[in-house]
Structure 1
């Protein structure tokens, strides 16, 4: 494609992006104020100009091809840049306004984000927030979400990643449970206790511990545990611990209130619990130079408000 030849398919790029977002020529046509057949012709012209198939069409659904996924991301960047250019006046002349779509895992959304979002909404009355609570990985580009929180050791490439806080897992149990059972002073002591684990993967009941030893040597231990309640939701595991069912493995942010008011006590606090669910909480968004003011102020609010030990 020539240096300036892309100019003649800019409308086609917008149409393709809307079709890919909505998964329907009809829905995209309604949004753009054209007919479905016109939308289909525009996407076909774009495919001819690029020289690859972007969409797989069936009687039931539309699916992006591998080149289509890449083209969709580029078209979104293009439209976002154009929108950013149109919004320049608003950035300087008006306060942030509009709706921000933010996705986060359930427990993190409830225990960490929710109070700060309420503060944010009070501070910015012209900005609305749609909080999408989901324990799966949301693709902000494919799913049209402005900001995504993800708990991981390594944020994905292709997105801007801002660190919010550490996502540490700990062990806890009620004082009543601990008083009725044998003392837990070493990870091996857990073999004699009911331990509440995730159960998502085969080795989720193999808890790995690390401790700094003498001369900075690391002591690492793995213990196979068992318990009466296995659940892949941290708040429910905490609920099991609060019901005196045993020692629960939960994120610190899930257990914080129960720890602070003494309903549960931390177990083996001098050991670090290792696992696949450790890491950092990252705030992710597409690498867009023209981040809308409504998103920018929410990002800055969360970065300053969320505790980062």
Structure 2
């Protein structure tokens, strides 16, 4: 399927004469179009286009590959037309963090796969960003307030967080009474927050950026929560993730009047113009669940 998409991208590049024009026509980011072109050249084993500051021209291999990709595209479109009325089948590859898998993906899979029994979901669990083309990922779930505007994504819901500490830490270091007090505390960081800034809201619901620092970071919210429960410091944790340990008394909430800003839950995919039925249905089902 990746090669079929790459073929479609290559055809549009050749027809329109530039990567930027192809990106606009396909509703893709330009870097994504460039990666598909690289994939086509890797597949062909030779350079397909001569690039200059003014225009793109086809190499002899590029001319031959263009004819072949057009034939491939016709076959793919005929197969799609024949199967439009069928239930989706095949494998859908989804990438997300451990937290996203546990609270967003796995809980709705049973109903989704029961409704579409010919579909198989392959879940790639990692806290690191994935290369969707190289790793053949159809959908990546990301929780962020700083999404790259060039990325093609659908907002599916929101993730609420809160500041937490252990009772032992608060007994030893004291309870912060305002955000400025956090500069005197050990604030633990999620590794992929590139800045030591916690985005919060004040008592008037106005945005409030608080600079923090600490001696520990992790790329997984469960590990961060374990460190908080062990008294290492204060951390911003997803409310859903911390709920059971908070109810057991392992964690206490900090600065409840200054909660962190809710973060968007996004489904990231590669093309608006080519959205397989399985992916479209999965996105719709996940958005419906997260809206509850």
Shorter-chain TM-score: which interval? 0.5 to 0.7
Larger C-alpha radius of gyration, 1 or 2?
1
Question: What count of residue pairs does the alignment treat as equivalent?
Answer: 253
Classify 1:219/1:116 alpha carbon distance in 2 versus 1 (closer, same or farther; 3 Å): closer
Q: CA RMSD in A?
A: 4.3
Specify which of 218, 236, 241 is matched with residue 249 of structure 1. 236
Separation in structure 2 between the aligned mates of residue 125 and residue 21 of structure 1, nearest angstrom: 32
Q: Identify the match of residue 141 of structure 2 among 149, 171, 174.
A: 149
Structure 1 Cα separation of the partners of residues 184 and 150 of structure 2: 46
Shift of the 169–76 alpha-carbon distance from structure 1 to 2, 3 Å rule, reads farther
Listed as ranges, the gaps of 5+ residues in structure 1 are: 1-5, 11-16, 29-38, 56-70
Give the TM-score, by structure 1 length.
0.63
CA separation in 1, counterparts of 2:78 and 2:249?
A: 53
- 1:232-289 deviations in whole A, cap 9, x for unaligned? 4322110111223332222334324434555323211210336xxx631211223344
How many Å separate the matches in 2 of 1:289 and 1:82?
18
Q: What does residue 49 of structure 2 align with?
A: 47
Report whether the alignment pairs 1:111 with 2:103: yes
Instruction: Output the CA distance in 2 between the equivalents of 1:178 and 1:236.
Output: 20
Structure 1 residue 100: Cα displacement? 0.3
What do the CA deviations read for 1:47-91 (whole angstroms, capped 9, x no partner)?
37x615799xxxxxxxxxxxxxxx99xx99996786354123322
Distance in 2 of aligned mates of 1:78 and 1:133: 37
Q: 1:238 aligns with which of 213, 225, 230?
A: 225
1:293: which partner in 2?
277
Structure 1 CA distance for aligned equivalents of residues 83 and 145 of structure 2: 37
The answer for unaligned runs of 5 or more in structure 2 is 1-10, 16-34, 51-55
Q: 1:212 and 2:220 equivalent?
A: no
1:191 shift after superposition: 4.4
Change (3 A) 1:203 1:158: closer
Q: What is the CA–CA distance in structure 1 between the aligned matches of 2:279 and 2:207, rounded to whole Å?
A: 44
Matched, 1:222 2:183: no
